Amino acid sequence: EPEVTQTPSHQVTQMGQEVILRCVPISNHLYFYWYRQILGQKVEFLVSFYNNEISEKSEIFDDQFSVERPDGSNFTLKIRSTKLEDSAMYFCASSWASGGASDTQYFGPGTRLTVL
């Protein structure tokens, strides 16, 4: 069964460093998303991406964040200068469409980011 994959599973970085989180969405999906979950809290939307551009973003997704689809399979989230409060689990998700039952978003296993 197709699935979303994410690498690395755990990333430890120093405050101020840049990190790139990688995702391979399900191959025939067209919409891609990043969410984050701070430990013990609910899952929060960061950004959605379609047709090589951001279609929606949250207030959390400020200038420190960027997303890219560098090739036909990968989808990346870059945090330019990490802060302590960026420590969280980051989930990538993908969906085939954006309306009705077919818009179910399938999540990857997550990358746990720890900023020291």
Partner 1 sequence: AQKITQTQPGMFVQEKEAVTLDCTYDTSDPSYGLFWYKQPSSGEMIFLIYQGSYDQQNATEGRYSLNFQKARKSANLVISASQLGDSAMYFCAMREGLGTGFQKLVFGTGTRLLVSP
Q: Under a CB-based contact definition with an 8 Å cutoff, are residues 91 and 35 in contact?
A: yes
Distance CA 69, CA 41 (A): 28
- Residue from 19, 95, 113, 115 in contact with partner 1 (CB under 8 A): 95
- Contact stretch for partner 1 (CB under 8 A) within 11-19, 62-70, 77-85, 86-94: 86-94
72 contributes a contact to partner 1 by CB under 8 A: no
Q: Under a CB-based contact definition with an 8 Å cutoff, are residues 107 and 92 in contact?
A: yes
Q: How many residues does the chain have?
A: 116
Selection from 18, 2, 35, 6 nearest residue 79 by Cα: 18
48 contributes a contact to partner 1 by CB under 8 A: yes
- Residue from 25, 26, 35, 36 in contact with partner 1 (CB under 8 A): 35
Residues 52-71 that bind partner 1 (CB under 8 A): 55-56, 58
Task: Encode burial over 56-76: b for 16+ CB neighbours within 10 A, e otherwise.
Answer: ebeebbeeebebebeeeeebe
30 contributes a contact to partner 1 by CB under 8 A: no
25 contributes a contact to partner 1 by CB under 8 A: no
Which residues in this chain contact partner 1 in the complex, by CB under 8 A? Answer: 31, 33, 35, 41-45, 48, 50, 55-56, 58, 89, 91, 93, 95, 98-101, 103-110, 112
